[in-house]
Amino acid sequence: MATLSDVARRAGVSPATASRVINGSSKPVTEDLRERVLRAVADLQYVPNAHAQLLARSHRTAVGVIVHDVSDPYFAEITRGLQRVATDQGRLLMICNSYRDPDRELEYVELLRGHQVAAIIMAGSGYHDATFTKRLNEKLTAYEETGGRVAVIGRHEHSGDAVMPDNRTGGWLIGTELCALGHAEIGVVAGPEVLTTTTDRLAGLRAALTEHGRSLPEHRIRYAEFDRDGGAAATAALLDAEPALTAVVALNDSMAIGALALLRSRSVPVPQQVSVTGFDDMPIARDVTPALTTVRLPLVEMGARAMALALDPGAGGPRVEVLAAEVVRRDSTGPAPDAGTARVRPTNQAGSGRRVRRAAAGRTPS
């Protein structure tokens, strides 16, 4: 494998000059020398040492992203947006999977700080855990004091740039949708109770039900992991305890797909007997049978905006961008069985996926 000395010898320059050309040093080099070095690099198929480049360059090139689970379609879509902006700006994206383990997130912050990344993006939900939050903020603040930048996606107790999906409004929209269809016996398949995403979506749903004279008692909520198996298990437990339910609200699409599978295994027709809704609008939501009514969040845009904020120092105080939620109506929802055929479906309903949007409040321009 060719070394820097081999390149310098081939180009007829000193190793220091070869290093300046290869590592993008700000020190000037004549065009003739630059061309000779680059030609030698190509001839020898030389691969630069990434750590040496980091030391030689005047700016940091890598960005670290901490996600809960990159195999989760929610985070896969966000990562697409992150990667798009990072690639456009010539940045290396380092993705860390925490698997919703708070201690691992703390370890990753330290690891990324040690790699001198230009920015750290927390792409997973915040936690309702005061001890963890205090430790995380201490580590992020120490990193920021060395010149690093931090941006978060979702609600975190960290003072800095943030991209906020309007989870509460999304919950309100789906609750309003089900009430318009005559549903009163509504159960919820929720993600982990410790996550702010879970509580925000639940809060919006409760607000909508209260506005329409309905309630959401705790015994109609089942908490589980934010995945298909968690959704199926929670739906089974919910229906065993509450057989009169006419609608199941899953707080993400993966859980909703698990709910649909469970209902199908029990020969429960959807939506004739039980309506099912999701949250996020993953690409698969339109392909399952029946196609899933869900809340759409602009996940790719969320990732792109978070990366843009992380790489732009801006001016003034922290910037917070709230991205709106909207309902996409498909075939997994219908009138409540006891509502009768007289109830009118909202006029913009269609199985292909018509949308209902409520503007997000509090958007702060970047």
Across 214-269, the runs of DSSP E, i.e. the strands, are: 221-223, 247-250
pLDDT digits (tens, 9 = 90+) for 211-237: 999 999 999 999 999 999 999 999 999
Tell me the pLDDT band of 53, cut-offs 50, 70 and 90.
low
Q: What is the mean pLDDT of residues 116-138?
A: 93
Mean pLDDT of the chain, nearest integer? 88
Query: Taking residues 185-203, what's their average pLDDT?
Result: 97
In CATH terms, the fold of domain 167-296+325-358 is Rossmann fold (3.40.50)
Is it the case that residue 180 has pLDDT exceeding 60?
yes
Is residue 334's pLDDT more than 80? yes
In this structure, which CATH number among 3.40.1050.10, 3.40.50.2300, 3.40.50.300, 3.20.20.100 belongs to the domain 62-165?
3.40.50.2300
Residue 123 banded pLDDT, cuts 50, 70, 90: very high
Q: Say how many C-beta atoms besides its own lie within 10 A of residue 146's C-beta.
A: 8
Least confident of 16-30, 202-216, 233-247: 16-30
What does the pLDDT read at residue 66? 96
| Confidence bin at 347 (pLDDT 50/70/90) | very low
- Structure confidence at residue 60 (pLDDT): 67
Domain ranges for the chain: 4-56, 62-165, 167-296+325-358
pLDDT at 4: 86
Reduced to 3 states (helix: H, G, I; strand: E, B; else coil), residue 52 is helix
pLDDT average, residue stretch 350-356: 48
Residue 50, pLDDT score: 59
Strand partners, 110: none
Task: Supply the pLDDT for residue 340.
Answer: 47
Given its phi and psi angles, is residue 95 left (phi above 0), alpha (psi -120 to 50 degrees) or beta? beta
Does the domain at residues 4-56 carry the CATH identifier 3.40.50.970? no
- Per-residue confidence band for 330, with pLDDT thresholds at 50, 70 and 90: very high
Q: Please list, in sequence order, all residues whose beta carbon lies within 8 angstroms of the beta carbon of residue 304, skipping any fewer than 6 positions away.
A: 81, 82, 84, 85
| pLDDT attached to residue 47 | 81
Triad 195, 198, 203: Cα angle to 5°: 125
As a whole number, mean pLDDT of residues 252-281 equals 97
pLDDT at residue 169 in the model:
98
Average pLDDT over residues 323-340: 90
Same fold for the pair 4-56 and 62-165:
no
* pLDDT tens-place string over residues 275-311: 999 999 999 999 999 999 999 999 999 999 999 999 9
Read off the pLDDT band of 20 (50, 70, 90): confident
β-strand pairing of 221-223 with 186-190: parallel
Helix (H) or strand (E) holding 187: strand 186-190
